[in-house]
C-alpha cells in the first residue's frame, strides 16, 4: 500500500484551529491497512460548550444571516471552487481515511462542490407568503433560520454528507457545529478550513472531532443548540431523538435502509444485472441506499443469476488508491466482523451462498478489512439477512412469482429509504413505484442523489427531506406576522358587543 506522512488535525472553533481543551488526541487509521494515518484532536464537553457559544454569538449578532444573500452566495460558491481546485488532495485523504475507492472519492468531492453551488443559488430564495384575510388585517409569513444547528454525520460519505448538511444550513443563515464520525474525521476539518478561506465568517461553522457517544450526546442535549440534523444508524437516531427531546429541539434524521431492487420478467436483463451490481456493491456496500434485497421473478432467476454471479466474481478488489480498483475495504475490523457474523447467520439459516462470504486473506490484503462481494440466493424475506442492515457488500436474492407478492415483500421491513424497479412496462413501473413505501424510487436506474432531488426515508429510515428545496424547510422556521390596517382604534373592552337578539 502507498506510504503516507501522518496527517494532523485540530478542532475548528470560532474561526481558529485549536487543540482540545484537554489536549487529548486520538489516532485514525486506514481501513486498507489498519495503520495509523492521522492524529486528531479529541474534543470533550468543554470544547462542545466553546463551539456552541461561538456558533450562538455568530447567530445572534447576525454576521451571517444578516449578510446580503448575494454575498453569502458568493462565499458559498467560493467553497465549491476551492473544493474543485483541491479535488485530488481531498479525494486521496478521503480514500486513505474511509477506504472508499479513489474513483468514488473523487466523485464525492465533486458532488460536494455541486451541492455548495446548488445551495449558493438558493440563498436569495427563502420566501414567505402573504395570506388574504377578511378582516382589515395584513398577514404575511417569513421564513427565518432556526439558529444554532448541531450536525452529526457518518463515515460512509464523509465529505459529501458534510456538504449535504452544510449547504442548506448555510444558505438559510444558520450557524453550525459539525461533528464528523470518529472513524473519518479529517476531510470535515479540511472542509471547515476551506469554508473559512472562502469567507464564511468566524464562528459560523465549527467542527469538532471526537466520539459520538460523549460529545455527540452533549451537543444533542445542549440548551443553546436549536436543531440537530443527524445521519447514521437507525438505533443511533433513536438515541439522538431521546437526547434532543429534553430541550424540544427540531430534529431531522437520515437513517438506515434495507432497500429492495425488483427485476420484473419484462426488464432488459443485461441492464438490470449491471445496474444491480452498482446498486449493491459500490462503496463496498456501505451505502444507506444500497439495494441489498434483490427480488428476481422466478422466470428470469437462473439466467439473471448466472450473469450476476459471473460479473460479481470479476469485481477487482484492491488498494483503494489504485485507480483500477473497483472495491476497497470496509471501514473497520469491527465492521468486518459484524458483516461476517451476518454471513454466518445466513448460512446457518439455510440461504444458498452463491459467491464470496469471506474475508480476503491474500497478501497484502490480510492486514486490511477486505471482504469478498457476497451473494446469497434463495433467501426468505423474513430472514435476518433480509431484514437487518448489514452495511457491507452482501446481497440477499429473493425469488418472486407475481407483482402483488413482490410489493408486499418489498414493503415488509421497518425501513423505507429507497427502491429500484426494472421493467419495460410503463404501467407496471409507475404502479409499483406508487405501491412502494420508500422515499426514493428509481426506475431502470440503480441509484442517484443529485442536489436538485429530495432525499429521505419513510418509516424508520428517517424524518425530513435533505437536498433540493425541501432541505431549505429543514433549516428554516415560519413566523406569521399580522398587521392591523383598521382605521378604528382597537379597544376590546371599550367596544363591547351587544348580546345576540
Binding residues vs ligand NAD (CB under 6 A): 152-157, 179, 181-182, 212-213, 216-217, 220, 231-233, 236, 239-240, 243, 254-257, 288, 389, 391, 417, 457, 462
d(CA 460, CA 235) in angstroms, rounded, equals 10
Calculate the alpha carbon distances from 6 to 29, 97, 204, 451 in Å.
10, 12, 29, 34
Nearer to ligand NAD, 34 or 141 (CB): 34
254 is catalytic: yes
Q: Counting Cβ atoms within 10 Å, is residue 295 exposed (0-12), middle (13-18) or buried (19+)?
A: buried
State the first-to-last Cα distance of the chain, in angstroms, to the nearest integer: 92
115 contacts 164 by C-beta, under 8 angstroms:
yes
Q: Which is nearer to ligand NAD, 185 or 373 (CB)?
A: 185
Q: What length does the chain have?
A: 501
Alpha-carbon span 149 to 475, nearest angstrom: 8
- CB 491, min distance to ligand NAD, A: 53
Cis omega (within 30 of 0) on the bond before 357?
no
Q: Please, which residue, 318 or 462, has the CB nearer to ligand NAD?
A: 462
Is 288 an active-site residue? yes
- Rounded CA-CA distance 377/390 in Å is 16
Q: Which of 94, 104, 254, 466 is catalytic?
A: 254
Q: In this structure, are strands 137-145 and 130-131 parallel, antiparallel, or unpaired?
A: antiparallel
Q: 60 Cβ partners below 8 Å, 6+ apart?
A: none
Catalytic site residue from 221, 288, 336, 389: 288
Q: Which is nearer to ligand NAD, 177 or 255 (CB)?
A: 255
Q: Quick one: 28 or 231, whose CB is closer to ligand NAD?
A: 231
Q: How far is the CB of 307 from ligand NAD (least distance, A)?
A: 28
Q: Nearest approach, Cβ of 494 to ligand NAD (angstroms)? A: 55
Which residue number, 300 or 371, has a Cβ lying nearer to ligand NAD? Answer: 371
**Least distance to ligand NAD, CB of residue 394, Å:** 14
Residue 477 sits at φ, ψ, to 5 deg, of -130, 155
Q: State the nearest-atom distance from the C-beta of 215 to ligand NAD, in Å.
A: 8
Cβ neighbours of residue 478 closer than 8 Å, sequence gap 6 or more: 128, 141, 142, 143, 144
Sheet with 440-443: list strands edge to edge.
352-355, 374-377, 394-400, 293-297, 260-263, 418-422, 440-443
Q: Which residues are catalytic?
A: 254, 288
Amino acid at each position: 500500500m502507498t506510504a503516507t506522512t501522518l496527517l494532523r488535525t485540530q478542532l475548528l472553533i470560532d474561526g481558529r484551529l485549536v487543540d482540545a481543551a484537554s489536549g487529548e488526541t486520538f489516532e485514525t487509521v486506514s481501513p486498507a491497512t489498519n495503520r495509523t494515518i492521522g492524529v486528531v484532536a479529541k474534543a470533550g464537553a468543554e470544547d462542545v460548550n466553546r463551539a456552541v457559544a461561538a456558533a450562538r454569538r455568530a447567530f445572534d449578532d447576525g454576521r451571517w444571516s444578516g449578510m446580503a444573500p448575494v454575498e453569502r452566495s458568493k462565499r458559498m460558491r467560493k467553497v465549491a471552487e476551492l473544493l474543485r481546485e483541491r479535488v485530488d488532495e481531498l479525494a486521496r485523504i478521503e480514500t486513505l481515511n474511509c477506504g472508499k475507492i479513489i474513483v468514488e472519492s473523487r466523485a464525492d468531492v465533486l458532488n460536494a462542490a455541486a451541492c455548495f453551488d446548488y445551495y449558493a443559488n438558493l440563498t436569495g430564495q427563502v420566501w414567505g407568503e402573504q395570506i388574504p384575510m377578511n378582516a382589515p388585517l395584513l398577514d404575511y409569513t417569513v421564513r427565518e433560520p432556526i439558529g444554532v444547528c448541531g450536525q452529526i454525520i457518518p463515515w460512509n460519505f464523509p465529505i459529501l454528507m458534510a456538504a449535504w448538511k452544510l449547504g442548506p444550513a448555510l444558505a438559510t443563515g444558520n450557524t453550525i457545529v459539525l461533528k464528523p464520525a470518529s472513524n473519518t474525521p479529517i476531510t470535515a476539518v479540511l472542509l471547515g478550513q476551506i469554508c473559512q478561506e472562502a469567507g464564511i465568517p468566524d464562528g459560523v461553522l465549527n467542527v469538532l472531532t471526537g466520539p459520538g457517544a460523549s460529545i455527540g450526546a452533549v451537543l444533542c442535549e445542549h440548551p443553546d443548540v436549536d436543531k440537530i440534523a443527524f445521519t447514521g444508524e437507525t438505533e443511533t437516531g433513536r438515541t439522538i431523538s431521546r437526547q434532543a427531546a429534553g430541550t424540544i429541539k427540531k430534529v431531522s434524521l437520515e437513517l438506515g435502509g434495507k432497500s429492495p431492487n425488483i427485476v420484473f420478467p419484462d426488464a432488459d436483463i443485461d441492464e438490470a444485472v449491471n445496474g444491480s451490481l452498482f446498486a449493491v456493491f459500490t462503496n463496498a456496500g456501505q451505502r444507506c441506499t444500497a439495494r441489498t434485497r434483490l427480488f428476481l421473478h422466478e422466470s428470469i432467476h437462473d439466467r439473471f443469476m448466472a450473469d450476476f454471479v459471473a460479473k460479481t466474481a470479476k469485481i477487482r478488489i484492491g488498494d483503494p488508491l489504485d485507480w483500477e480498483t473497483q472495491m476497497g475495504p470496509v471501514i473497520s475490523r469491527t465492521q468486518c466482523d459484524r458483516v461476517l457474523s451476518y454471513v454466518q447467520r445466513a448460512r446457518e439459516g439455510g440461504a444458498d451462498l452463491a459467491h464470496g462470504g469471506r474475508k480476503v486473506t491474500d497478501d497484502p490484503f490480510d492486514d486490511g478489512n477486505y471482504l469478498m462481494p457476497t451473494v446469497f440466493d434463495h433467501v426468505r424475506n423474513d430472514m435476518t439477512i433480509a431484514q437487518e442492515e448489514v452495511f457491507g457488500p452482501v446481497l440477499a436474492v429473493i425469488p418472486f412469482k407475481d407483482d402483488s407478492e413482490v410489493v408486499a415483500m418489498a414493503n415488509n421491513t421497518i425501513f423505507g429509504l429507497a427502491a429500484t424497479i426494472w421493467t419495460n412496462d410503463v404501467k407496471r413501473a409507475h404502479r409499483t413505484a406508487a405501491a412502494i413505501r420508500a422515499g426514493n424510487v428509481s426506475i431502470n436506474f440503480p441509484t442517484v442523489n443529485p442536489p436538485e432531488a429530495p432525499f429521505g426515508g419513510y418509516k424508520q429510515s428517517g424524518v425530513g427531506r435533505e437536498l433540493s428545496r425541501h432541505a431549505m424547510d429543514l433549516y428554516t422556521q415560519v413566523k406569521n406576522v399580522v398587521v392591523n390596517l383598521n382605521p378604528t382604534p382597537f379597544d376590546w373592552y371599550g367596544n363591547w358587543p351587544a348580546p345576540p337578539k
